[in-house]
Amino acid sequence: MPNYDLLSKTIRSLTEGEDDTIALMATVACEVHHSDARFDWTGFYRVTAPELLKIGPYQGGHGCLQIPFSRGVCGAAARTGQVQLVPDVDAFEGHIACASSTRSELVLPVFDARGEVIAVFDIDSNQPDAFTQDDATALTAILSEVFAR
Residue 90 is predicted with a pLDDT of: 80
Tell me which residue of 135, 64, 128 sits closest to 92, measured CA to CA.
Answer: 128
Q: Say yes or no: domain 4-147 is CATH 3.30.450.40.
A: yes
| pLDDT band at 102; cut points 50, 70, 90 | confident
- Averaged pLDDT, 23-34: 98
% of the chain surpassing 90 pLDDT: 87
How does DSSP assign 8-49, residue by residue?
HHHHHHHHTT---HHHHHHHHHHHHHTT-TT-SEEEEEEEEE
The Cα–Cα gap between 74 and 55 comes to 11
How does DSSP assign 84-128, residue by residue?
EEES-GGGSTT---SSTT--EEEEEEEE-TTS-EEEEEEEEESST
The answer to whether residues 139 and 108 touch, using CB atoms and an 8 Å cutoff, is yes
